[in-house]
Amino acid sequence: MATNPYQKYQQTSINTATPAELTMMLYNGCLKFISIAKQAIEQGEVAKRNENMQKAQNIIQEFMVTLNQEVELSSDLLRIYDYVWRTLVDANTRNDLTALKEAESIIMDLRNTWKEMMLEQKKPQMVGSEQS
């Protein structure tokens, strides 16, 4: 059986990604599933909407269960993720495009914040190397 080169590349990307990169992939995946679900709502495709909403919900649940509870920020993130998860469930059960867009906006903000954090981590640390 021939292996699809794109699938092989994707698998390699996942296997070699840092935890920060995996988190970014999950945020991007969640946004992708929300986008597909939005199109499905607009086109009246109930099964497609439900499938992609459940995928987005599963990603949010993964974020919730993998939070490091020893980090102070985790309790705030847990509340945000819980709100987003409940909003996605509500959007799915009520076929509510407005609720879905609200969840998407929050995930987009979280993803963008994560991206900024990753960029900051990549900057060279200049502590102690400055001269007066």
Residuewise pLDDT in 10s, the chain (132 residues): 557 775 665 566 666 789 899 999 999 999 999 999 999 999 999 999 999 999 999 999 999 999 998 988 899 999 999 999 999 999 999 999 999 999 999 999 999 999 999 998 887 655 554 444
**Torsion sign across C-alpha atoms 119, 81, 13, 68:** positive
Q: How many CB atoms lie within 10 A of CB 54?
A: 15
Whole-model pTM: value is 0.82
Instruction: Report d(CA 112, CA 13) in Å as an integer.
Output: 21
Q: Which tokens belong to 9? A: 């590349």
Q: What is the pLDDT of residue 5?
A: 72
How many residues would you count in the chain? 132
Q: At what angle do helices 19-43 and 5-16 cross, to 10 degrees?
A: 130
Q: What is the pLDDT of residue 132?
A: 42
Q: What is the pLDDT of residue 117?
A: 92
39 CB-near residues (< 8 Å, 6+ apart): 45
Q: What is the pLDDT of residue 106?
A: 98
Q: What is the pLDDT of residue 9?
A: 55
Instruction: Report d(CA 81, CA 79) in Å as an integer.
Output: 6
Question: In Å, what is the CA distance from 95 to each residue of 9, 17, 47, 66, 102?
Answer: 35, 35, 11, 29, 13
